[in-house]
């Protein structure tokens, strides 16, 4: 299945939280029970350093309704403060942690809205 494309807005220094539902081409939810999901934001696809990372392993991606294919990505203010330029991101999934069967779910631009007020 081809990855979906959607841009995201990262407000520097603020919480980023977005819920996603993984479905097949017919709109039927894919069961994510036991899945490993990861997201990275980089300045360019080939950049060796990620500006922000979220995964089920680090707790920043939570399977909120695994049977219905629903998961939530949350980046805390410390995470979004580390994003210094707009870039690209993708979200990948592996069933049961099998990294040989990784599927890219979503990809696009990560557009940075720079923080003005520093408290």
Biggest CA pair distance of the chain: 47
- Mean pLDDT (the chain) is 94
Which parts of the chain sit beneath pLDDT 50?
none
The C-alpha angle 26, 30, 36, rounded to 5 degrees, equals 145
- Report the pLDDT value the prediction gives residue 20, as an integer from 0 to 100: 97
Assigned CATH topology for domain 4-113 = Immunoglobulin-like (2.60.40)
Using an 8 Å Cβ cutoff, are 55 and 38 in contact? yes
Helix (H, G, I), strand (E, B) or coil at 44: coil
What pTM, to 2 d.p., does this model score? 0.92
């Amino acid at each position: 299945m081809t990855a979906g494309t959607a841009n995201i807005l990262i407000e520097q220094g603020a919480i980023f939280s977005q819920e996603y539902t993984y479905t097949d081409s017919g709109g039927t939810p894919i069961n994510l029970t036991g899945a490993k999901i990861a997201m990275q934001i980089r300045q360019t696809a080939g950049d060796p350093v990620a500006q922000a990372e979220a995964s089920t392993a680090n707790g920043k991606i939570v399977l909120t309704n695994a049977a219905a294919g629903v998961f939530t990505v949350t980046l805390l203010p410390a995470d979004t403060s580390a994003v210094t330029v707009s870039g690209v991101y993708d979200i990948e999934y592996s069933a049961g942690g099998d990294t040989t069967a990784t599927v890219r779910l979503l990809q696009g631009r990560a557009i940075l809205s720079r923080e003005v007020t520093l408290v």
